[in-house]
Structure 1
């Protein structure tokens, strides 16, 4: 996953340079903001000199999915206030995908925190290198802002492959996304998560909890 974040960080760094922002913005965004998809969006917000209130609201709407991640992220294994605070801060989509899978059930809190540390180092290092080398990448190169979406698509495909016997879960996810797109196009992400969570809860209650384990991992 770290090696996957490296080229993604390079793409973000190049995007920073091509947008006309100083190279150190790439290091600052990835170290302090560290919110993946929102960082790509933040580039345009910074260029437009968007009011802080609007930036804060946008950040909330884009990252509100993390509220749902907290339902099954193994933060209870992490010991110490500082470690728990950092683990909460560094709860990214990639960290969640790795630490809530079947193979991670025996991981210690220290392993989870170090995984998050190294993933951020890959992200910060890749973005900084991309910003410093951005001047040698021609402006004709397009699609850099799609890199994060592509990574999410790969994570989703891996999750489906890992749970081949749990077909209803990805079907519920797809139906939730489609319903959110039709009914709440302006707040699709938040609406999709709410609908998906409600569908998983309804599924668990109607099946007597037999699918609870698979649903919680989803």
Structure 2
């Protein structure tokens, strides 16, 4: 450890420790973000191509990904923008699509992020990918700076990929289909990774599947919101039932 030079006779004092936002936290976050980044880059490319093929200017890709930054809703926003949809309808659609983030806030480690600006960006950049990486068992010891760097890197992948896709979009023929399915494919991969990481927790994915099936049958138009509500209720009931067992142990 380095020490600060002092006058003779004074006891040596350790140099101040590196702040939480040090280079080490950034490098660790860059490594953490690589796996998801490899998926976000081509996904961003697909989104950028979709923007240009819809007839919107290329810079809309940069604007949407930097300011809106709500993956699945951004794909919907392309169609809404082309149709010149009223702002009230756009706002309602955004709420219904992104209401799942309310559930994410229940376990996202926002308390580790220092400062109001840091917390504001951490809340803004709370995407499905960021949630999946920061709430796993291996992320329990991550500092707030590492979480912020992770979110910043992931948004950079998204913005960079979308901008590049929009600029190169004219080179991709209109006949290429399935670009709007890229986000769904990424969600499926994240879900599989989460199941693999918690192999002993089989009831959770089963409850999620049952909630999705019930939501599909009861309210298919609001499937996402209903499925999240049912899953949250089931997990709370399960947690309450497990508490007495743990207290008796």
Q: Output aligned runs, 1:152-167, within 5 Å.
A: 152-167=187-202
How many Å apart are 1:185 and its aligned residue? 1.0
Unaligned runs of 5+ in 1: 212-218
Q: Distance in 2 between matches of 1:85 and 1:204?
A: 30
State the secondary structure of the residue aligned to 1:67: helix
Instruction: Indicate which of 45, 56, 80 corresponds to 1:21.
Output: 56
Matched, 1:141 2:176: yes
Instruction: Indicate which of 22, 39, 44 corresponds to 1:9.
Output: 44
Bigger drift between 202-211 and 23-32 goes to: 202-211
State the secondary structure of the residue aligned to 2:181: helix
Q: Distance in 1 between matches of 2:199 and 2:92?
A: 37
Cross-structure match for 1:112: 147
Aligned pair count?
211
Q: 1:40 to 1:107 in 2, by over 3 A?
A: same
Q: Distance in 1 between matches of 2:178 and 2:109?
A: 35
Q: Distance in 1 between matches of 2:245 and 2:71?
A: 35
State the secondary structure of the residue aligned to 2:243: coil
How many Å apart are 1:210 and its aligned residue? 5.9
Matched, 1:54 2:89: yes
Cross-structure match for 1:93: 128
After TM superposition, what 4+ stretches of structure 1 lie above 4 angstroms from structure 2?
A: none
How many Å apart are 1:34 and its aligned residue? 0.2
Matched, 1:74 2:106: no
TM-score scaled by length of structure 2:
0.83
Q: Distance in 1 between matches of 2:106 and 2:208?
A: 17
Matched, 1:174 2:178: no
Cross-structure match for 1:124: 159
Cross-structure match for 1:188: 223
How many Å apart are 1:209 and its aligned residue? 6.0
State the secondary structure of the residue aligned to 1:207: helix
- C-alpha distance after superposition, 1:49-104 (max 9, x if no partner): 00000000000000000000000000000001111100100000000000000110
Cross-structure match for 1:216: none
With a CA cutoff of 8 Å and minimum separation of 6, indicate the structure with the bigger relative contact order.
Answer: 1
How many Å apart are 1:207 and its aligned residue? 2.3
How many Å apart are 1:206 and its aligned residue? 1.8
Cross-structure match for 1:201: 236
Residues 204, 210 of structure 1: 8 Å contact kept: no
